[in-house]
């Protein structure tokens, strides 16, 4: 590549979109879009991403600066909710007002962390060719060009933009028209590691002298996860600063880890954002209690802000259930697991199902070596892939120090003896939530652990208060298996709005199941 080749490629790209002068005159981009989002880490099996939301959104975006106003309305499906909120980002400051959380529909009016603003802006970088090309045209931009994209769809040049702290972005342009075809970036998506994200553009139309795409689609790997049709797209040469004002919004600082995650795992985060999960629980980094809580002799629970891990003492080793979230959280949770019963190594891990939020830390749990991961038979290949996949964007302990990990499928029931003379049994059950679902029964505590089927509540729930048939399926499985259960423990806690509960009597589950 020569400077002349780069300049020629940039000018061709700028000309295709309306010309450098027209592009540089644009100050603000406004789009109205309708679409859907699917989550690649949820659903019945890993090959079928789950529809999590239909949405309508209006974006007003400062093309050259770190400012946006995002008005979002959506119908979510995991927990049926009507989201309706306005989010404003301005530099490191941000504010949200309205309903942005499927688990709590009370409106909020609050400042948001700076990393949330950064993640949102990164998403707009990937989905706005106008904003991305303006970055490439900026003096001093680190841009390189390949003369041919090598594809079979008539691609021409491929321009790569590198920015500090962010994975490189490759913009492919059509050989015939010079218009952007797609943006490609490799991100970190726990637990699978390096994920190929492609944003594809289509249906370019003229808006005040520049061309903008009216169709945007996103794939992660080979899974189509996002589609939006832009019903309106306009630009303006001046910015109304009032659009990006949010009163006295204060900067809510991020940790170094949160700031980095926002930029190298952007579309992973967006899977949850569109689902109605409030930016994935603010990228939690540690359990909420300094040590695990006791459930029964030889049985403890690591309680996280959103996800819990069960620890059971076996005669010569430990068994854990769930490795949730992502490395930064799982590292802290794993430390509690190890301290729960000093002197005994962790050699057995049970994952209740493959959903990313419950297994995002499986590699961190495996990194100490000599671990066997027990999963429902249908997802054995998924876990083998997660444990062997490249992790170059954000190398973890397993990437820097590979060790052998065994994955074993559970077709029916798997039983271990516990240190106290009882047993812990892992049972595969039928569930609408995931084909590989298992529950865990500990005889010494007469307790059953589940994830996502029913969250324990601090008071008796309303009869039939459940998500679909999940609580009913859990209760029916307990009865069919003949388990002597007093207590149901959750991979998530439940709340009445003021009090949280990680365990509840079986009778509460029975009420939720409608019996």
In tens, the pLDDT along 43-72 reads 999 999 999 999 999 999 999 999 999 999
- Quick: pLDDT tens for 237-260: 998 899 898 777 788 888 888 889
Sorted by sequence, the CB contacts under 8 Å of residue 128 that are 6+ apart come out as: 29, 61, 63
392 Cα distance to chain centroid: 18
Count Cβ neighbours within 10 Å for each residue of 487-509 and write b for 16 or more, e otherwise.
bbbbbbbbeeeeebbbbbebebb
Given a contact cutoff of 8 angstroms between Cβ atoms, the answer to whether 410 and 377 are in contact is yes
- Quick: pLDDT tens for 113-126: 888 899 999 999 99
432 Cα distance to chain centroid: 21
Same domain, 264 and 413: no
Question: What is the C-alpha to C-alpha distance for residues 398 and 7, in angstroms, rounded to an integer?
Answer: 42
Q: What pLDDT does residue 280 have?
A: 57
Given a cut of 70, is residue 477 above it in pLDDT? yes
Same domain, 233 and 313: no
Among 255-259, 302-306, 467-471, the least confident range: 255-259
Q: What is the DSSP string of 250-300?
A: -BB---HHHHHHHHHSHHHHHHHHHHT-THHHHH--S-SSSSPEEEETTEE
Given a cut of 80, is residue 491 above it in pLDDT? yes
Same domain, 251 and 356: no
Range of the domain at 478: 289-512
Same domain, 251 and 222: yes
Same domain, 418 and 345: yes
Q: Is residue 172 part of a domain?
A: no
Q: Is residue 161 part of a domain?
A: no
Q: What pLDDT does residue 248 have?
A: 75
Q: Is residue 26 part of a domain?
A: yes
Same domain, 47 and 128: yes
Same domain, 267 and 405: no
Q: Is residue 189 part of a domain?
A: no
pLDDT over 70 percentage in the chain: 97
What is the mean pLDDT of the segment spanning 304-331? 95
Same domain, 408 and 436: yes
Number of structural domains (the chain) is: 2
Among residues 282, 316, 332, the one where a domain terminates is 282
Q: What is the 3-state secondary structure (H, E, C) of 193-211?
A: EEEEEEEEEEEEEEECCEE
pLDDT level of residue 358 (50, 70, 90 thresholds): very high
Same domain, 358 and 342: yes
Reference 191, options 81, 317, 66, 349; nearest CA is 349
What DSSP designation does 460 have? P
pTM of the model: 0.93
Question: What is the C-alpha to C-alpha distance for residues 437 and 379, in angstroms, rounded to an integer?
Answer: 10
Given a cut of 90, is residue 283 above it in pLDDT? no
Q: Is residue 153 part of a domain?
A: no
Sorted by sequence, the CB contacts under 8 Å of residue 394 that are 6+ apart come out as: 188, 260, 261, 264, 265, 327
Reference 466, options 489, 494, 447; nearest CA is 494
Among residues 232, 259, 282, the one where a domain terminates is 282
Same domain, 225 and 373: no
Among residues 282, 302, 319, the one where a domain terminates is 282
Query: If DSSP codes are grouped into helix, strand and coil, which group holds residue 227?
Result: strand
Cα distance from N-terminal residue to C-terminal residue, the chain: 71
Q: Is residue 306 part of a domain?
A: yes
Same domain, 341 and 202: no
What is the mean pLDDT of the segment spanning 73-79? 94
Q: Is residue 502 part of a domain?
A: yes
**CATH classification of the domain holding 476:** 3.60.15.10
Q: Is residue 355 part of a domain?
A: yes
Same domain, 427 and 397: yes
**CATH classification of the domain holding 114:** 2.50.20
């Amino acid at each position: 590549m020569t400077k002349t080749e780069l300049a020629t490629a940039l000018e061709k790209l700028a000309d295709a979109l309306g010309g450098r002068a027209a592009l540089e005159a644009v100050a603000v981009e406004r789009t109205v879009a309708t679409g859907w989002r699917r989550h690649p880490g949820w659903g019945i099996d890993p090959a079928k991403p789950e529809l999590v939301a239909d949405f309508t959104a209006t974006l007003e975006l400062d093309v050259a600066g770190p400012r946006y106003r995002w008005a979002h309305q959506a119908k979510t499906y995991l927990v049926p909710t009507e989201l309706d909120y306005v989010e404003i980002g301005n530099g490191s400051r941000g504010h949200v007002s309205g309903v942005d959380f499927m688990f709590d529909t009370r409106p909020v009016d609050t400042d948001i962390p700076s990393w949330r603003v950064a993640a949102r802006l990164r998403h707009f970088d990937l989905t706005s060719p106008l904003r991305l090309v303006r970055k490439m045209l900026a003096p001093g931009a680190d841009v390189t060009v390949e003369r041919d994209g090598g594809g079979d769809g008539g691609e021409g040049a491929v321009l790569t933009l590198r920015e500090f702290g962010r994975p490189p972005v490759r913009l492919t342009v059509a050989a015939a028209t010079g218009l952007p075809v797609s943006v490609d970036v490799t991100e970190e998506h726990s637990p699978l590691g390096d994920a190929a994200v492609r944003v594809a553009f289509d249906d370019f139309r003229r808006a005040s002298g520049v061309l903008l795409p009216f169709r945007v689609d996103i794939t992660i790997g080979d899974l189509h996860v996002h589609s939006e049709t832009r019903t309106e797209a306009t630009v303006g040469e001046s910015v109304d600063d009032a659009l990006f004002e949010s009163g006295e919004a204060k900067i809510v600082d991020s940790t170094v880890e949160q700031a980095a995650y926002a930029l190298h795992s952007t579309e992973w985060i967006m899977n949850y954002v569109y689902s109605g999960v409030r930016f994935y629980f603010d990228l939690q980094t540690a359990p909420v209690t300094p040590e695990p809580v006791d459930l029964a002799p030889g049985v403890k629970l690591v309680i996280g802000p959103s996800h819990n891990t069960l620890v059971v003492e076996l005669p010569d080793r430990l068994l854990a259930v769930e490795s949730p979230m992502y490395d930064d959280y799982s590292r802290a949770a794993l430390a509690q697991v190890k301290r729960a019963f000093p002197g005994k190594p962790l050699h057995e891990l049970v994952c209740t199902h493959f959903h990313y939020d419950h297994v995002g830390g499986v590699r961190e749990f495996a990194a100490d070596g000599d671990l066997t991961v027990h999963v429902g038979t249908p997802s054995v290949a998924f876990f083998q892939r997660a444990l062997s996949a490249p992790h170059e964007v954000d190398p973890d302990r397993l990437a820097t120090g590979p060790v052998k990990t065994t994955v074993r499928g559970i077709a029916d029931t798997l039983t271990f003896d516990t240190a106290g003379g009882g047993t812990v049994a892992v049972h595969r059950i039928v569930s609408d939530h995931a084909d590989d679902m298992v529950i865990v029964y500990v005889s010494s505590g007469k307790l059953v652990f589940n994830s996502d089927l029913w969250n324990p509540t601090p008071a008796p729930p309303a009869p039939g208060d459940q998500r679909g048939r999940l609580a009913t399926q859990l209760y029916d499985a307990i009865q069919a298996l003949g388990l002597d259960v007093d207590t149901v423990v959750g991979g998530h806690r439940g709340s009445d709005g003021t009090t949280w509960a990680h365990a509840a009597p079986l009778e509460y589950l029975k009420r939720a199941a409608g019996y």
